[in-house]
Amino acid sequence: MLDETLAILDDLIAFETVALTPNLDLVGYCSERLGAVGADIRLTHSGDGTRANLFATIGPSGDGGIVLSGHTDVVPVDAGDWSTPPFEAYHRDGRVYGRGSADMKGFIACVLALAPRFAALSLGRPLHVALTFDEEDGFHGAPILLDDLVCNGPRPSAAIIGEPTGMEVVAAHKGCYEYTTTVTGRSGHSSEPGRAVNAVQYATRFITGLMELGAEMTDRAPASSPYEPAPTTMSVGTITGGQARCVVADRCSLEWEMRPVQRTDADHVRTRLAELEDRLTQEMRLVHPGASIRTEVVCEVDGLEFDDASPALGLMRSLLGDTPAGVVSYGTEAGLFQAAGIPAVVWGPGHIGQAHRPDEYVEVDDLGACLAVLARLGDSLVR
């Protein structure tokens, strides 16, 4: 089973499924494997049809059963930073190196390798496989898959999101809200800045406001916050604007994010930022009526709220014994599953510290341990 898993992982790594690029070849590969064991397969697509989610059911149809879920996309690579080609699996010292090996094609390989075994069991409850697209860039795929499930069924009873948690059960995480803010000013000669509206300079004032709000979040952190760091955090990831030193920039945009520990923090930030945008816009429009600041939502993904009575947590306890339920600060699709009425936990092979880095790898031992637990899960669904 482990050899088969490693062979599948090699294949999966070779699909260059960077977020926002096509994943249909990989989805076709998974469909073929799951279809071959008699799984019922449903695809849902991105608006332009270049990416797909896959939802497969092994065993009986209808409500109930367990979802094993993974995202098919990976983060981009800077190949120069890698010791080996990032989209060719490289095996050494009990590790498999390659983009996505930990995050999270290792888990998907385990699920695909076990599919024939699951299909051979006489399952009393269904085992579902959910594969999504564009998780790494705005969580665009999972909401489409979940909408389809909510509207057309079935309604599974729990989901395991196989992110690389080092095989620790994660029962709560922060939300992940991502935005793009664009400042539009008016260009001009830098010797006459008063006749222009400097978009770069207004963007820095917006960022200052953002950072002040970030500092306020520290005071708002609930005493019981289980997270490290405890408060809602905010961060500006990119800023782009301007043409030359001697030209006043007419455009500047920034990408930023917030990781709320509680929904009220997110509401507070949005209200305060809208006030700041209004204030800055009014000032800019004294010089140029067409000036503006606009913030677009890339994604607003809810956190996974801790629920000690969650059937998903109960499932993990039944499989692993009395395991601690951890929390993490990064976002996953588990919050979306929970919001769609499917209790979820995060648990999978590999370590988050390996994800999103050059020379990403997963330990072969982790894959073996994952296979053993998922095999027990299959057995537990036998009628």
Between CA 163 and CA 105 the distance in angstroms is 9
| C-beta of 134 vs 265, nearer to Zn ion | 134
Residues in 104-123 at the binding interface with Zn ion, rule: CB under 5 A: 104
Minimum CB–partner distance for residue 298 and Zn ion (Å)? 17
Q: Select from 95-103, 187-195, 247-255, 357-365 the region that touches Zn ion (CB under 5 A).
A: 95-103
Q: Select from 39-47, 100-108, 297-305, 310-318 the region that touches Zn ion (CB under 5 A).
A: 100-108
Between CA 270 and CA 238 the distance in angstroms is 19
Q: Select from 59-67, 97-105, 147-155, 339-347 the region that touches Zn ion (CB under 5 A).
A: 97-105
Minimum CB–partner distance for residue 74 and Zn ion (Å)? 8
Residue nearest to Zn ion (CB): 103
Minimum CB–partner distance for residue 70 and Zn ion (Å)? 8
Between CA 373 and CA 381 the distance in angstroms is 13
Which of 103, 178, 250, 360 binds Zn ion (CB under 5 A)? It is 103
Q: What are the b/e assignments for 231-259, b being 16+ CB within 10 Å?
A: bbbbebeebebbeeeeebbbbbbbebbbb
User: According to the binding rule CB under 5 A, does residue 333 interact with Zn ion?
Assistant: no
Minimum CB–partner distance for residue 347 and Zn ion (Å)? 13
| C-beta of 97 vs 118, nearer to Zn ion | 97
Q: Say whether 277 is catalytic.
A: no
Task: Given the residues 10, 103, 135, 333, select the one marked as catalytic.
Answer: 135
Q: Say whether 135 is catalytic.
A: yes
Joined together, the tokens standing for residue 271 give 């209200």
Minimum CB–partner distance for residue 222 and Zn ion (Å)? 27
**Which of 20, 87, 18, 15 has its CA nearest to residue 50?**
20
Q: Select from 46-54, 159-167, 179-187, 208-216 the region that touches Zn ion (CB under 5 A).
A: 159-167
Q: Select from 99-107, 187-195, 240-248, 321-329 the region that touches Zn ion (CB under 5 A).
A: 99-107
Minimum CB–partner distance for residue 18 and Zn ion (Å)? 13
| C-beta of 77 vs 291, nearer to Zn ion | 77
Q: Are 141 and 53 in contact (CB under 8 A)?
A: yes
Q: Which residue has the tokens 């036998």?
A: 382
3-state SS of 150-172 is HHHCCCCCEEEECCCECCCEEEE
| C-beta of 317 vs 356, nearer to Zn ion | 356
# of chain residues touching Zn ion (CB under 5 A): 3
Active site residues per annotation: 73, 135
**Residues near Zn ion (CB under 5 A):** 103-104, 163
